[in-house]
Amino acid sequence: MDHVWSILLRSGQTAVESSSTLFVGFLVAAVMRRMLGAEGTRKLFGGSGLSGLFRAWVIGSLLPVCSLGVIPVAREMRRAGVPSATILAFILAAPQLNPLSFLYGLTLSEPIVIICFVIATMLIAIAGGELWKRVFDTHTDTSTAGDEPMPAPGLKRLMAVATTAAREVVGPSMVYVLIGIVFTGLLAGLIPFGGLGMTMRHDDITSPALMALIGLPAYSGVLPGMMRIGLIFEHGNSTGAAFVLFELGVGFNLGLVAWLVSQFGWRRMLGWLSAIVALVLMVSYGMESPLYFAKEEASHTHAFDEWSSPFPSGSGATWEAVRGKLLQKIEVLEPVALAAIALLAVTGGFISRFDRAGRLDKWLMIAQPASAAPKPVWNRSVPGPVLGLFALIGLVVFSIVALFIYYPDRKQAFAEIIQVRTEAITAVRTGNKDEAIRRIQQWDLLTRKLQVGVFLRTGTMNEAAGKATEDLRERLEDLRDALLANDIPKAKQFLPTVEDAYRKCRDCYEDINTIK
């Protein structure tokens, strides 16, 4: 039963982790189809030359989607007749990078490391598209259903976007999404508790290859993936493995691979994907020494705990424990995204069941009769492609706003830290191990949000504050390790050092020079 609960928990955590960017993916696909249209989508991504591949990378880097959320977008690109090489370049770019993850990544290590990661991703995306076009493309890959009639302007067009997204949620895209979620849960649930804690070392030549083996089929969200990369840097682990995680771990999952195989055949896709993995590994090994800035390497890491079982063997996991860990994943945006996806699923199921003849779509295509009366502002006729572009730009703006919500300012972050800190220390002193571990994990996450929040609002991060924050996380990790080893007396001995590290961290951020 421990294995069953582990698989269910990891699958549920993956679903929660992907919910926000998955919802954006369904919405972007619907906007492309009902506002841009097939012709507008083809124009947006350009032709089949290098300019089209570069444009696919730029657009993919701006849209806040993940390796699951990219599936409905890629399906719509293929339906609209976008060249297959451009679609693959988009897939190689969209999940890894967006404005949120890039800004967050700059706080994790030397900025040059993340900048090199981004440049390498761009080159791999363009090279992957060119490789497909020159070696694997059979010139029959473009799939298009023809240019559909566009919905009538006004509210009908907005309704068409909503109903299209709803149909997609209960359509083939969701099948591939579920493949990615279930496999990730299955893989993580079967890897023993802490089974990856001693891996991905800088001095282990197999680290990048091991990361490719695990990261390629497993799902990792964009920001959680960046957090894992940050832990790799903090622990002095393999920089090459960090890049493989960035490119393949965040960029792919088994569901996305299954969709690619369904569209392009397993022989050609196996060949192309093998070439991409080989290219990524070659780049990662080349980065290992030049971009390694750690002064020392930790003996273990918690960066990949969520890719292994959450429960030690024989721990007797229960539904209450699973429920508690699952709720920890739900923060600000996830409840809204999950509710929106559920609403779309109900709507899509209702439409599929009671409107198989497509009467709703036909009605949405019928324009309102011309009238001499002035139209209200909210119902003015705006060209679909113009509205679609503004909608896509709006998603980018929304992602930036969400970034400031997710990463609070210094005062709000410390207000949350004070509460979590009190609960964590109380749990340690009373011997409540599970509650203490849960609060320590929250405390650790809040310190990362603190750093990013300060960086977003000031554009800089004081070196002393950054070091104090890292020292605090190291002390929290020591405390957590003692609890995981069920050594409560040792954990209590760590409390003074944790408190001292916390005071130094707080003092650094209270110094006005830190936030100038």
Write out pLDDT tens, residues 252-305.
Answer: 999 999 999 999 999 999 999 999 999 999 999 999 989 888 777 877 787 888
Single residue among 320, 340, 360 that ends a domain in this structure:
340
Same domain, 31 and 115: yes
120-158: pLDDT as tens digits: 999 999 999 999 998 888 766 665 555 677 777 778 888
Same domain, 457 and 331: no
57-71: pLDDT as tens digits: 988 888 888 999 999
For residue 477, give its domain range.
409-515
Residue 362 lies in a domain: no
Same domain, 333 and 414: no
Same domain, 119 and 237: yes
> Token pair 């566009």 is at which residue?
150
pLDDT of the residue at 292: 86
Same domain, 414 and 336: no
- Which residue, among 237, 229, 236, 234, has the nearest Cα to 200 in the 3D structure? 237
pLDDT of the residue at 293: 82
pLDDT of the residue at 385: 63
Same domain, 332 and 424: no
Token pair of 512 as six digits: 């006005």
Strand partners, 201: 237
Residue 348 lies in a domain: no
Same domain, 148 and 264: yes
Same domain, 320 and 417: no
Residue 457 lies in a domain: yes
Classified as helix, coil or strand, 81 is coil
State mean pLDDT over 477-481: 87
Distances (CA, A) of 476 to 194, 225, 380, 470, 479: 17, 21, 56, 10, 5
Same domain, 282 and 431: no
3-state helix, strand, coil in the chain (%, to 5): 70, 0, 25
The separation between CA 375 and the C-alpha centre of its own chain, rounded to angstroms, equals 41
175-186: pLDDT as tens digits: 999 999 999 999
**pLDDT band, residue 383 (cuts 50/70/90):** low
410-441: pLDDT as tens digits: 888 898 899 999 999 999 999 888 788 888 88
Same domain, 321 and 413: no
Single residue among 313, 340, 367 that ends a domain in this structure:
340
Task: Compute the distance between CA of residue 292 and CA of residue 239 in angstroms, rounded to an integer.
Answer: 6
pLDDT of the residue at 176: 96
Classified as helix, coil or strand, 237 is strand
Same domain, 121 and 235: yes
Residue 69 lies in a domain: yes
Residue 398 lies in a domain: no
Same domain, 413 and 322: no
Kindly tell me the burial class for residue 213, based on how many C-beta atoms sit within 10 Å of its own C-beta (0-12, 13-18, 19 or more): middle
State mean pLDDT over 206-214: 93
Task: Compute the distance between CA of residue 50 and CA of residue 86 in angstroms, rounded to an integer.
Answer: 9
Provide the domain count of the chain: 2
Task: Compute the distance between CA of residue 109 and CA of residue 243 in angstroms, rounded to an integer.
Answer: 13
